[in-house]
Amino acid sequence: MFTLNQLESFVAVAETLHYGRAAERLSMTQPPLSRRIQLLERELGVELFDRIGRSVRLTAAGQAFLGDARRILGLSEQAALSVRRVPAGEIGTVALGFTASSAHSVLDAIVGGIHARLPGVDLVLRESVSGTQLEKLRSGELDLGLVRPPVPGTGLEHRPLHREALLAAIPAGHPLAAPDRVPHVRDLDGEPFVMYSPAEARYFYEVLVSVFRGAGVVPRYVHHLSQVHTILALVRAGLGLALVPRAAEALGLDGIVLRPMIGVEGEPVELVAAWRANDDNPALHAVRHLVIDLAGRDIS
């Protein structure tokens, strides 16, 4: 196979059509340049130049090869430049995990922010529940996870990203949906309630269980589901009430009223970013800092 030096020399001669000046441009003398071109021609088995008298002309083969040579040289230069940007994190691939519910709150801001401020970074998005994400973080399948707490401390680091309130989801015709009515947790006692699944949405399940326990309330669970939008569909169908994160407002479903509820104070729903402490993917560092920066400005 030919060398890039030969290609560079060939392009120089092809552009000047003069060995002496081409050699000057390449910071060398003419004789070794002549030999380089000869070697390239022998290597290819093709004449690239017609040396007629003291004039040099490209052959048809040389003409055709010139384009390829330029392309190869350009690609090489480009590759050398872009690989240098990888360790700075400007270029690379980050596998980002997220929970279904975080897709409604922070995911779009994060994806958009990365796209805008780290355009060289490819994101690989993978939805899965927190527990699975933690496993994949440890195995290296994921670089960064958007998970629900807690994050067990074995080799993983984490940082809170976002907190949000829980709102009551009430079908439009329901008495609790009346404009002058302020719902209270106690109103849920004995009421039909669409609950999160303890398996696939354990975090929400446990948050709600602790809310109900603290208030001494016992709703009547009519279903256990994991996806917020499925829960809301059942609420709208009148099968029961539910508690959903505020981000559900963005879903904009008709026929449902979302209301803060007395006794469900503050922002009990937490989302944290987690990553492997010794992950050496440089793009991860850039992405992590950007995500934390976005969180500091209260993304939502």
Which one of a second copy, DNA, none interacts with residue 51, CB within 5 to 8 A by kind?
DNA
Q: Does residue number 71 form part of the binding site for DNA (CB under 7 A)?
A: no
- Determine whether 28 is exposed, middle or buried from the number of CB atoms within 10 Å of its CB (0-12, 13-18, 19+): middle
Among 4, 35, 209, 220, binds DNA (CB under 7 A): 35
Question: Where along the sequence are the contacts to a second copy (CB under 8 A)?
Answer: 1-5, 8, 43-47, 50, 59-61, 63-65, 68-69, 71-72, 75-80, 82-84, 86-87, 91-93, 280-283
Q: What crossing angle do the helices spanning 60-85 and 4-16 adopt, rounded to 10°?
A: 130
The footprint of DNA on this chain (CB under 7 A) covers a number of residues equal to 24
Start-to-end CA distance of the chain, whole Å, equals 55
Which residues lie closer than 8 Å to 288 by C-beta, 6 or more apart? 144, 273, 275
Closer Cβ to DNA, 9 or 130, answer by number? 9
Q: Does residue number 38 form part of the binding site for DNA (CB under 7 A)?
A: yes
The number of residues in the chain equals: 300
Which one of a second copy, DNA, none interacts with residue 36, CB within 5 to 8 A by kind?
DNA
Q: Which of 164, 165, 170 is closest to 193 using CA atoms?
A: 170
Closer Cβ to a second copy, 43 or 249, answer by number? 43
Among 42, 45, 54, 296, binds DNA (CB under 7 A): 54
d(CA 106, CA 272): 11
Minimum CB distance to a second copy, residue 139 (Å): 14
Which one of a second copy, DNA, none interacts with residue 187, CB within 5 to 8 A by kind?
none
Minimum CB distance to a second copy, residue 73 (Å): 8
Q: Stretches 52-60, 89-97, 127-135, 160-168: which one binds DNA (CB under 7 A)? A: 52-60
d(CA 86, CA 65): 32
d(CA 126, CA 130): 11
Closer Cβ to a second copy, 32 or 260, answer by number? 32
Q: Does residue number 5 form part of the binding site for DNA (CB under 7 A)?
A: yes
d(CA 171, CA 274): 36
Using the structure block, give the residue that is written with the tokens 């922010």: 113
Minimum CB distance to DNA, residue 61 (Å): 15
CB atoms within 10 A of CB 91: 19
**Residue 211: CA count within 13 A, CB half-sphere:** 29
Pairing of strands 256-259, 269-276: unpaired
Q: Which of 40, 278, 148, 157 is closest to 49 using CA atoms?
A: 40
Q: Stretches 26-34, 132-140, 162-170, 176-184: which one binds DNA (CB under 7 A)? A: 26-34
Q: Does residue number 53 form part of the binding site for DNA (CB under 7 A)?
A: yes
Closer Cβ to DNA, 5 or 93, answer by number? 5
d(CA 143, CA 127): 13
Which one of a second copy, DNA, none interacts with residue 210, CB within 5 to 8 A by kind?
none
Q: Does residue number 30 form part of the binding site for DNA (CB under 7 A)?
A: yes
Question: What residues pair up with 121 in beta bridges, in sequence order?
Answer: 92
Which one of DNA, a second copy, none interacts with residue 71, CB within 5 to 8 A by kind?
a second copy
Closer Cβ to a second copy, 272 or 291, answer by number? 291
d(CA 9, CA 203): 65
Residue ranges that bind DNA, judged by CB under 7 A: 3, 5, 17-20, 27-32, 34-39, 51-56
